[in-house]
Amino acid sequence: MKKSTEALLSTLQGTVAPGFEAVRFEFERNFTDRGELGAAFAVYHRGKKVVDLWGGHRDRNRTSPWEEDTLTTIFSSTKGIAALTLALAHSRGLFEWDAPVATYWPEFAQAGKQDITIRQLLAHQAGLSAIDPPLTPEILGDFDRLAEILAAQAPAWIPGTRHGYHAISLGWYQSELLRRVDPERRSLGVYFRDELAEPLGLDLHIGLPESFPDSRIGWIQSNSVLSTLRLLGKRNTIPPRMLLGTLNRRSITARSFSNPAIKRPSDFNSNRALRRVEIPSANGMSDARSIAKLYGVFAAGGSEIGLRKQTLDDLMADPIHPSGGLDDLVLRTKTIFSLGLMKPDREFDFASSMRGFGTPGAGGSFGFADPDARLGMSYVMNQMGGYLVDDPREKSLRDAAYRAASKLGPGQ
C-alpha cells in the first residue's frame, strides 16, 4: 500500500507560491483520500499565477500520466467561457444587454420570442432550454442551418417569468447572436480564439481542432449510476426531482439534456465529431491554468483585453430574478444566473461576495472570478463525481486557496 501511494503521489507535479502550500496538501489528499483519477488546479491572485498543479492519470487503467499540457472536457464550465466572450463583445459596443435579441437577429422573433432580451436569454429565462428537432454534428457544423432551427423554436414557458437551465442550447444562441453583431461574422468559438485565447496564451478550445493529438486528452470517466444513487439526498448533489425528470423523456429536464443524442456524458470527450463542432455550453476542452488565467484577468479588471469598467460592473451586479422565483424548472432546485454566469448564494457561496461569477461543470469542474479578492480559480478532472456544485475535491482546494489568499489580502 505504501509503495502504491508513493507511486501515485509521484505523478503529482506543479508549483505553488509561498503561502499556498496547503493547496498542494489538499491536492495530494484528493488522490489519496477522495478517489481522484486525473486532475489539475490553478489559481491567479492579483493577476499572478500562484497555484499550478496537475497529476494522476489520463486514462481509467492508470497507464498514461496526466501531463502539464493535458486538456480535458469541462462540460458546463464552458458556459463561463462563453459568457466572458459575450462580455468582451459587449465591452466593445457590439450589443446592449437589455435590447431584444431580435434587434440583432430579426429571424429570432418567431414563435413569440420577439420581446426576449439578451439579458433574459443569458439568465436562462427565455424558455429555450430544449430544442425540438434532432441535432447532429453535421447540423451543428452548419451555422446557417442551425440558426434556422434555433430561430423557429418556441419557448417552453413565458420568457422572463421562470428560469430553467439551458444546459446545452444556450451556447448556440450566444454564438448566433455574436455572429450577427460581429463585423466579421465569427462564431463564438472563433471569436473566443481570436480575441481571448490567442492574446492571453490560453490552451482552451470550443471546438477542438481535428489535428489535436489524443495523447493530450484526459479521458472522461462517467460516474456510475450506483455512485450517484448513493449520494442522493446529500447537500449539493443531484436533486432527486432532477434525477426523476431525466427518466421521463417528455419532461423539460430530459429534453434539455438529450439533444444532441448521446449515450453518456463522456461522449462529448471521446466522440471526435462532437469534439470538433462548437457546443459553447458543453464541449470546451482546457487545462486548469487557462481557465484560471481568464477569470483572473476579469477579476483584476481586464486591462489586458481592454475591458470597459461598465461591463465588469455589470458582471458583478446583483442578478435580476425571474418574476416566478428561483426554482429552476430544469435542474429542479434553486439557482441564480446573470449574464450567462452563476452567481454565489447561501447554498453555493463560492466567492467572498455576491460580486463573484463563474460556472461549474458536470462531474465537478469549476471556474470562477472573485473581483473583491482579485482571484481567478479553476479545477478540471476526468473522473466525474455526483455533485451538482461543491464537489468535495474541488471545494477542498478552493477553501485552501481562500485561506492562503486571505492572509495576503487583495493588494493593489
Condensed to tens digits (0 to 9), the pLDDT of residues 132-149 reads: 999 999 999 999 999 999
- What is the tens place of the pLDDT at every residue in 281-315? 999 999 999 999 999 999 999 999 999 999 999 99
pLDDT for res 3: 53
pLDDT tens digit string along 83-141? 999 999 999 999 999 999 999 999 999 999 999 999 999 999 999 999 999 999 999 99
**Close Cβ partners of 405 (under 8 Å, ≥ 6 residues apart):** 43, 45, 50, 373, 375
19-47 residue pLDDT tens? 999 999 999 999 999 999 999 999 999 99
Look at residue 412 and tell me whether its pLDDT is greater than 60.
Answer: no
Residues 46 and 86 in one domain: no
With cell 478517489, the residue in question is 35
Residues 336 and 211 in one domain: yes
299 contacts 369 by C-beta, under 8 angstroms: yes
Average pLDDT over residues 202-231: 91
Same domain, 277 and 197: no
271 and 351 share one domain = yes
CA distances from 279 to 66, 164, 314, 369 (A): 25, 18, 25, 22
Asked which of 201, 219, 254 is the last residue of a domain, the reply is: 201
State the pLDDT confidence band at 410, using cuts at 50, 70 and 90.
Answer: low
Whether residues 373 and 249 share a domain: the answer is yes
Indicate whether 269 and 355 sit together in one domain.
yes
Q: Domain check: are 71 and 173 in the same one?
A: no
CA-CA distance, 95 to 90, in Å (whole number)?
Answer: 6
What SS3 string covers 227-257? HHHHHCCCCCECCHHHHHHHHCCCCHHHHHH
Q: Is the pLDDT of residue 409 over 70?
A: no
**158 and 288 share one domain:** no
CATH of the domain at 217: 3.40.710.10
68 φ/ψ angles, rounded to the nearest 5 degrees: -60, -35
Give the pLDDT of residue 411: 57
Angle between the 77-91 and 170-181 helix axes, to the nearest 10 degrees?
20
- Sheet of 204-206: strand order equals 72-73, 284-286, 204-206
Report pLDDT for 122. 98
Q: What percent of the chain has pLDDT over 90?
A: 89
Confidence at 2, pLDDT banded by 50, 70, 90: low
The chain-wide mean pLDDT, for the chain, equals 95
Mean pLDDT of 355-377: 97
Q: Are residues 113 and 67 in the same domain?
A: no
- pTM over 0.85, yes/no: yes
Final residue before a domain boundary, out of 201, 230, 262:
201
Residues 165 and 280 in one domain: no
Asked if residue 233 has pLDDT above 90, the reply is: no
Q: pLDDT band at residue 347, thresholds of 50, 70 and 90?
A: confident
Residues 259 and 176 in one domain: no
Is residue 31 exposed (0-12), middle (13-18) or buried (19+ Cβ within 10 Å)? buried
Q: Is there a single domain that holds both residue 178 and residue 314?
A: no
Confidence of residue 6 (pLDDT cuts 50, 70, 90): confident
pLDDT at 229 over 60: yes
Secondary structure of residue 202 in the 3-state scheme: coil
pLDDT at 232: 77
Name the domain boundary from 156, 179, 201: 201
Residue 365, pLDDT above cutoff 60: yes
Tell me the pLDDT tens digit for each residue of 309-345: 999 999 999 999 999 999 999 999 999 999 999 999 9
pLDDT at site 52? 98
Q: Domain range holding 99?
A: 80-201
Of 290 and 233, the structure prediction assigns the larger pLDDT to 290
The pLDDT value recorded for residue 36 is 96
Burial of 3 from C-beta contacts in 10 A (0-12 / 13-18 / 19+) = exposed
Q: What is the pLDDT of residues 143-192, one digit of tens each?
A: 999 999 999 999 999 999 999 999 999 999 999 999 999 999 999 999 99
Q: Exposed, middle or buried, 171 (CB in 10 Å: 0-12/13-18/19+)?
A: buried
Query: Which one is predicted more confidently, 6 or 356?
Result: 356
Look at the chain and report how many structural domains it folds into: 2
